[in-house]
Amino acid sequence: MTASIKSGHSGRHHSAHDVDGHVPNEKAGYGHQPEVEEGYVDHEANMDAQSTHSSYNGRFGFYYRHRATWNRLLIFIISTAFFVPAAILQKEGNILVLSLLYGFLVLGLISRQLPKGTLTWPIRKVWFTGAGIINRLPRLLVRVVGYGVPPVVLILTAVLRPDDVNGTRIQRLISCLGLFVFVLLAFASSKNHRAVKWPIVWTGIFLQYLLGLLIIRWSVGYDVFSFLSQQAENLLSFAEQGRVFMFGVLSIEYNGATITWPGSFASSVLPAIILFAAIIQALYYYNVVQSMVAAMASFVIHIIDISGVECVAACAAPFVGMSEAAMLVGPFVNEMTDAELHQVLTSGFATISGSVFLGLISFGADATALLTCCMMSVPCAIVISKLRFPEVEEPLTRGQAVAPAYKDRETNVIHAISNGAIFGIKLCIVIIAVLMAIISLLGLTNGLLGWIFSFYGVQMSVERLASWVLYPVAWLIGIPTQDLSVSAEAMGIKFILNEFAAFADFTKKQDSLQPRTKLLTTYAMASFANVGSIGSQISLFLTLAPERAPAIARASLSACLCGALSTLISACIAGIVS
């Protein structure tokens, strides 16, 4: 059944009703089993209902009455026929990733065929039983264990492993110190110290630590993310075919040798952004993005006590970026509490989008580090936002996993791809304009600073000032001493200007830096948290909810700073486990 939350009033404290007139439970907590409010059309479910109740008795009546089942069976047979020979004959490549993809596909087909909740009911039963047992334990014991285990585990992780190329014990302990300093800074700036829910904070940090272990230290997780980053890099080469068609080749044959010359940013990077935008729009059309985000949100909401809207925004941001993630929860903006609004903004600032990810790896940035940082920043953005702006109201979607809304459904997939390409070219124009303006203004500012300080015999620039200001920050995340100035300068350019300008400068120097410096600096810069992004977010949210203008204006700068702090904490976690 297609359902959406509709509000009869514009105030965010009024009740919301679904299409059947039922009022969602506004006070659901951990014990409430959330129901997904679907904001998009589930065509396969509709097909099931129509085929089951159909009275069609033609030549292929049996097929049409059970069309969804037959289609799933056909997909299973085709995928199995592809997977089994590949697994047997595999000589090169990553069979692990192929096996995982096949396993998830089969699990998804089975879950679609079985009655709703058949597979998830045992997991929920175990989860809520365990939660009930913990609730019956002495509160002092739960607090001592809950608050004591994360710091001890982090410190032991830092000191028990021997020194290696990725860091020494001292450097990992400094990363631990940086983590606690940044958390304390967020708490010190809190809007309401007494309202901070420390279980959310420690749960989010510990979840981020587990993600770091699974992605960085566990070979299977690292192989999976390496494979995904490699496919992203391959996407650049696929986009090259479209670029060659439009602009021609960047090489010539001379005396049997191929002579190439470097292309511009516009001709080499932007075609990949357009291709990615078209792919994402096609995935939107088939509800792939919405389903993935809803599944992640339904999982996160059982671990961290936040609202469904906050879960959706946090889980969607690493895939589609801050603007698109905000649009997925657009129907709820008027109903959000101030803390929810701050959380949604922070989640957007704390990550980068897939299109920007492609642009950054074209500069030579570490694709695996960028990808893993975006995933680790999901719980970190929640933690920092809840420290800075704790919830003191009752969210409308508390304890309910809401599905992302997607209203503008295209006629067919070709229409979707066309819209994606159009959006991609608009994004490219914005990127070009912003980069041209920022790089030119940076040159102008450096010229003025150089002229002023030349009277004193001192060479001065924005980059040098940034390196001085952020030198302690670079030290706290665990950067080796000899690379502190370079790392601080790169972070300063990123926070003051944007991520493109920062990575364009940093990747020119990264070959002379230590592996730890490259990794942690990439983590620290993998976000949209910069001055220019604040304006775009304010414009978007004012379009979605103009009556919330005062709250949006108040929350934007704070959310941007929290997003920057989130990536610094992600860098600290990476510094501890790497």
The full DSSP string for 187-240 is: HHT-S-GGG--HHHHHHHHHHHHHHHIIIIISHHHHHHHHHHHHHHHHHHHHHH
Q: What is the mean pLDDT of the chain?
A: 78
Q: What is the pLDDT of residues 84-129, one digit of tens each?
A: 887 777 655 567 777 888 888 888 888 888 887 777 788 778 878 8
The pLDDT of residue 517: 92
Cβ–Cβ < 8 Å for 179, 572: yes
The dihedral through the CA atoms of 323, 327, 328, 333 has a sign that is positive
Distance of CA 239 to the CA centre of its chain: 23
Using DSSP, state whether 167 is helix, strand or coil. Answer: strand
CA–CA distance, 154 with 172 (Å, rounded to integer): 10
**Phi/psi at 154 (5° precision):** -60, -45
> What is the DSSP annotation of 63-113?
HHHTHHHHHHHHHHHHHHHHHHHHHHH--SS-HHHHHHHHHHHHHHHHHHH
- Contacts for 520 with CB less than 8 Å, ≥ 6 apart: 175, 477, 478, 479, 487, 571, 574, 575, 578
Lowest mean pLDDT among 426-430, 556-560, 564-568: 426-430
Pairing of strands 16-17, 6-7: antiparallel
Segment 242-261, tens digit of pLDDT: 766 666 665 566 566 655 55
Mean pLDDT of 553-574: 90
Counting residues of the chain whose pLDDT is more than 90, the rounded percentage is 13
Burial class (CB in 10 A: 0-12, 13-18, 19+), 494: buried
Helix axes 169-188, 549-577, angle to 10 degrees: 160
Distance CA 386, CA 558 (A): 12
pLDDT in tens, 17-64: 333 334 344 333 333 433 444 434 444 444 444 444 445 555 666 667
> Please, what is the Cα angle at 380 between 469 and 556, to 5 degrees?
65
- Backbone dihedral angles phi then psi of residue 114, each to the nearest 5 degrees: -75, 160
Instruction: Find how far residue 198's CA is from the centre of its chain.
Output: 23
Burial class (CB in 10 A: 0-12, 13-18, 19+), 161: middle
Highest average pLDDT, of 25-29, 105-109, 301-305, 341-345, comes from 341-345
pLDDT at residue number 267: 63
Helices (H) and strands (E) in the chain, counts: 25, 6
How many alpha carbons fall within 13 Å on the CB side of residue 59? 0
Residues 6+ apart with CB under 8 A from 268: 236, 243, 362
Instruction: Tell me the per-residue pLDDT of 349-367, one tens digit each, with 9 for 90 and over.
Output: 988 877 778 778 877 888 8
Backbone angles phi, psi at 38, to 5 degrees: -85, 125
Concatenated DSSP letters of 245-298: HHH--SEEEETTEEEE-PPPHHHHTHHHHHHHHHHHHHHHHTTHHHHHHHHHHH
Q: What is the pLDDT of residue 473?
A: 94
Closest among 406, 390, 322 to 356, alpha carbons compared? 322
CA distance 5 to 494: 39
When mean pLDDT is compared over 113-127, 385-399, 432-446, the highest value belongs to 385-399
Query: CA 517, 519, 525 angle in degrees (round to 5)?
Result: 95
Q: Is the per-residue pLDDT at 10 higher than 60?
A: no
Minimum mean pLDDT range among 149-163, 301-315, 564-578: 301-315
Please give the DSSP secondary-structure letter assigned to residue 404.
Answer: E
pLDDT tens, residue by residue, 210-236: 888 888 888 777 888 887 777 777 776
Best CA proximity match to 289, nearest among 381, 378, 406: 406
Segment of 324-328, 469-473, 501-505 carrying the highest mean pLDDT: 469-473
**Virtual CA dihedral for 281, 284, 285, 286, nearest 10 degrees?**
130
**Phi, psi dihedral angles at 55 (to 5 degrees):** -105, 20
Mean local confidence (pLDDT), 512-535: 87
What is the torsion angle, in degrees rounded to the nearest 10, for the CA atoms of residue 354, residue 359, residue 360 and residue 363? 160
Whats the size of the chain, residue-wise? 578
Res 405: pLDDT = 64
Tokens of 83: 């997977």
Q: In 3-state terms, what secondary structure has residue 38? A: strand
The least confident of 8-17, 273-282, 295-304, 563-572 is 8-17
Residues 207 and 384: their CA atoms lie apart, in Å, by 14
Range of lowest pLDDT (50-64, 308-322, 373-387, 446-460): 50-64
DSSP assignment of 325-387 equals: HHHHTGGGGGG--HHHHHHHHHHHHTS--HHHHHHHHHTT--HHHHHHHHHHHHHHHHHHHHH
| The pLDDT value given to residue 572 | 93
Tell me what percent of the residues of the chain surpass a pLDDT of 70. Answer: 81
Residue 452 has pLDDT above 70, yes or no: yes
Pairing of strands 402-405, 37-39: parallel
Residues 6+ apart with CB under 8 A from 362: 236, 268, 269, 272
Amino acid 41: pLDDT = 41
Local structure of residue 164 (DSSP, 8 states): B
- Which whole number is the average pLDDT over 156-161? 88
Long-range contacts of 405-412 (CB under 8 A, 24+ apart): 405/4, 405/39, 405/40, 405/328, 405/329, 405/330, 405/331, 406/39, 406/40, 406/284, 406/287, 406/290, 406/328, 409/40, 409/41, 409/285, 410/281, 410/285, 412/285
- pLDDT 10s digits, 393-405: 888 777 776 766 6
The yes-or-no verdict on residue 419 having pLDDT over 80 is: yes
Mean pLDDT (whole number) for 464-484: 89
Domain boundaries, given as residue ranges, for the chain: 1-41+137-248+265-578
Tokens for 258?
Answer: 């191929």
Distance CA 342, CA 349 (A): 11
Read off the pLDDT band of 174 (50, 70, 90).
very high
Radius of gyration of the CA atoms of the chain, in A: 25
Instruction: Judge contact between 358 and 235, C-beta under 8 A.
Output: yes
DSSP 454-483: HTTT----HHHHHHHHTHHHHHHTT--GGG
